[in-house]
Amino acid sequence: MKYPLKFPKNIALIFSLFILISCAESLDFKQIEAYTLKPVFTTALVSFKAKPIQFFDSSGTIQKNSVSDVFEFKGFDENYLRNNVVKLIFNAEFKNEFDRDVTIQVDFLNRNNIIIYSFSPIFVESFDVNPAPYEEEIIIADNLQVLNATQVKITASLENTTTQLNPTDTSEFDFKSSVTLFIESEF
């Protein structure tokens, strides 16, 4: 079947009318000057799994009540982030299979290993394998020292240490954390 040549002409006419009508107003490019970018970034911070044996000395006979480790934090290495971050949310998820409660303390340290911000202690009950996630918000304008954080220190402390853990026990304490950075910058 042959189509008459009118079909392409009709499309061209409609397209031309659409272009002429759509450009009726002048564009205001000054609106972009008042635009604020508000990106949100979430990144993993620290995660670990601990077994009872990790709370013992190298001989496996003397129990320690807490273990700590320090991790590098490069969240504020970039000037763009340092200059534009307005809020930080620390997020943590955990699972405690141990037969005793565990308290987690998270601290931001500066390059001199000095604590510049301590999060509220996280208390995790024994055998709690599905606790609610933990979240803590930091408003940067109220806590400018946080921008100097270069390290994160995590301390896991055992509660009820009157009875010793079994070093051969296979139960685990699982900890995962992240930070969400809220940015505001002019375009």
pLDDT of residue 34: 72
Answer yes or no: is 81 within a domain: yes
Query: Domain containing 133 — which CATH number?
Result: 2.60.120.230
What residues contact residue 168 under an 8 Å CB cut-off, 6+ apart? 52, 53
Tokens 């009540």 identify what position? 65
pLDDT of residue 12: 72
Answer yes or no: is 76 within a domain: yes
User: What is the chain's pLDDT, residue by residue, as a tens digit (187 residues)?
Assistant: 555 555 566 677 777 766 666 655 666 667 677 778 899 999 999 999 999 999 999 888 889 999 999 999 998 988 988 999 999 999 999 999 999 999 999 999 999 999 999 999 999 999 999 999 999 999 999 999 999 999 999 999 998 778 889 999 999 999 999 999 999 988 6
Alpha-carbon distance of 121 to 186, in angstroms, equals 36
pLDDT of residue 150: 96
pLDDT of residue 13: 72
pLDDT of residue 14: 75
Answer yes or no: is 30 within a domain: no
Answer yes or no: is 114 within a domain: yes
What stretch of H or E contains 9?
helix 6-22
| Amino acid (one-letter) located at 28 | D
The count of structural domains within the chain is 1
Q: Is 86:186 a contact under the CB 8 Å cutoff? A: no
Give the domain range for residue 138. Answer: 35-186
Answer yes or no: is 93 within a domain: yes
Instruction: List C-alpha distances in Å: 141 to 22, 37, 83, 166.
Output: 45, 18, 11, 46
Answer yes or no: is 44 within a domain: yes
154 burial type by CB count under 10 A (0-12 exposed, 13-18 middle, 19+ buried):
buried
pLDDT of residue 60: 84
What stretch of H or E contains 81?
helix 79-84
Alpha-carbon distance of 117 to 44, in angstroms, equals 19
